[in-house]
Amino acid sequence: MTDRGALEPVHVIGHLNPDTDAIAAALGYAWLLCERDGLNAIAARAGALNAQTAWVLKTVGLEPPRLLTDASPRFERIARTLPPILPDRSLREAWAVASGGHSAAPVVNSAGQPLGLVSGDSVFRFLSRQMDDRIDLDNVSVARILAVPCASAMDADVPRFPLTMRVRDGRARVVREERDDFLVTREDGTYFGICRSPDVLNPPRLRLILVDHNEPGQALGALEEADLLEVLDHHRLGNSPTTLPIPFTVDPVGSTSTLVCERMWLAGRQPPAPLAALLLAGLLSDTLILRSPTTTARDHLVAERLAGWGLQPPLDTFGTFQRYGEALLAAGAGLAVRPVESILNTDLKLYEGGGVHFGIAQVEVANLHELDDRLAEINAGLAALAEARGWGLAVLMVTDVVRGASRLVLAGRQAAALEELPYRRLPDGTLNAPDVVSRKKQLLPAILGLLS
């Protein structure tokens, strides 16, 4: 790893609609990469936090990862923050800025609003105007020219691009321009920096490590515009091909937090107590406090280890990781006051099987009877979601985290294909799935078997 490679940021990010394990794994693995390898690793998230994860972060005292909605480079990534100058300052000052940055010099007003750029072309046009005005340049010294206010020799028609705008969305305009330098502005329109056309045409690619997923359909948008460096996951394979070999770990354990903790232990690194408590939450959430059929002996061992590291004051009031897990699941459970959109989208994953594109959402409750009062609007919302996304099938898995059972709500034109699932249909149209709590290991394989 070169010094430059170590300094360039690497974003560690989980799947869309992130759950607690995705957030914990991103924060935990980013910390380890910084500590062990000296990388500039930054934890990120591909969507909004759910109620459970928000509770955990607040409880352990950690900030959420930065939101990264897609991997397409923004103008912020290619902007150079050269010092701006005021319009009444001399051309000499602008020339010093331009020479030092090997580009144009930005000119702003007292409020920070960009007025234009001083470049070689703009100065040449200024001198041309002087000649057109019949000024005898033979009698004008260089010192006199350099004393001219910047406003007189700047290019005021420079295109401006917001720093949050995708570079690819501004590329067509840059290609049409005959200039090489452009202004980049903040959301309020104030000056942020400048960018050059070569960087717009060939921007640096975001470097990503995916945790808790490997399927492109579950990843942040524009994944193809990034350089994928590694995958650390515990789900089925569904990855797209890569241009170069990368470390790729898909291990059958209960959570990605388990894998992160094992790597910390192997490296001889103990995370700070808040981070250990967060990783413990990721593990307990994904395994339903070690009761899910996805749970392995490794998860039990890691839970004990993380509890020893993380349940320190003030979190020691939970006593055991079982009580911590119960509080964790209670924080994310419940349907009574949540909007239908939140119920269906907070923990939603997309799949494809037998030529059918479908989504499975999962929501946790303390009692399956919570579904009864909301079933009509959930049915309508699920059908609308399937139609809007063009899916053949949409499923909501309502899981009782106390009793370890689920009810399934189905929608979509391919819903009839699931009639052969080994679950009894109830009078309200839902399917009763006793002892089914894992989307990954129990429900998904059964659905794929019927669709294939």
- In the chain the domains, ranked by start, together with CATH numbers, are 3-71+206-332 (3.90.1640.10), 76-201 (3.10.580.10), 340-451 (3.10.310.20)
Return the pLDDT at 15: 96
- Given a cut of 50, whether residue 413 has pLDDT beyond it is yes
- Is residue 232 within 8 A of residue 259, CB to CB? The reply is yes
Confidence class of residue 401 from pLDDT cuts 50, 70 and 90?
confident
| Element at 229 (helix H, strand E) | strand 227-233
Q: Which of 5-14, 350-359, 389-398 has the lowest mean pLDDT?
A: 5-14
- Given a cut of 70, whether residue 423 has pLDDT beyond it is yes
Intra-chain end-to-end CA distance of the chain, in Å: 44
- Given a cut of 80, whether residue 136 has pLDDT beyond it is no
Return the pLDDT at 2: 44
- Given a cut of 80, whether residue 54 has pLDDT beyond it is yes
- Given a cut of 60, whether residue 124 has pLDDT beyond it is yes
Q: For the residues 188-202, what does the mean pLDDT come to?
A: 95
| DSSP secondary structure letter of residue 405 | E
The pair of structure tokens assigned to 451 is 């669709």
Report long-range pairs for 438-441 (Cβ below 8 Å, ≥24 apart). Answer: 438/292, 438/293, 438/294, 439/349, 439/360, 439/362, 439/397, 440/235, 440/236, 440/294, 441/292, 441/293, 441/294
Return the pLDDT at 338: 87
**Residues ≥6 apart with Cβ < 8 Å to 369:** none
- Given a cut of 70, whether residue 177 has pLDDT beyond it is yes
Residues 238-295: tens digit of each pLDDT? 888 888 899 999 999 999 999 999 999 999 999 999 999 999 999 999 999 999 999 9
**Residues ≥6 apart with Cβ < 8 Å to 127:** 137, 145
Return the pLDDT at 332: 82
Specify the 3-state DSSP secondary structure of 117.
Answer: strand
Report long-range pairs for 196-202 (Cβ below 8 Å, ≥24 apart). Answer: 196/78, 196/80, 196/103, 199/78, 200/78, 200/167, 200/170, 200/171, 200/174, 201/171, 201/174, 201/175
Average pLDDT, the chain: 92
Return the pLDDT at 1: 40
- Triad 417, 356, 256: Cα angle to 5°: 105
Residue 204: count of CB within 10 angstroms of its CB: 12
Return the pLDDT at 299: 98
Confidence class of residue 140 from pLDDT cuts 50, 70 and 90?
low
Confidence class of residue 132 from pLDDT cuts 50, 70 and 90?
low
**Residues ≥6 apart with Cβ < 8 Å to 89:** 149, 150
Return the pLDDT at 138: 65
Closest CA to 409 of 383, 438, 445: 383
Q: Please state, in angstroms and rounded to a whole number, the distance separating the CA atoms of residues 348 and 358.
A: 10
* C-alpha pair distances (Å), 349 with each of 16, 214, 280, 291, 383: 8, 12, 23, 22, 16
Return the pLDDT at 143: 78
C-alpha dihedral sign at 363, 365, 367, 372: negative
For the chain, what percent of residues have pLDDT higher than 90? Answer: 80
- Given a cut of 90, whether residue 411 has pLDDT beyond it is yes
- Given a cut of 60, whether residue 149 has pLDDT beyond it is yes
**Alpha helices (H) in 209-255, listed in sequence order:** none
Q: How many CA atoms lie within 13 A of 157 on its CB side?
A: 5
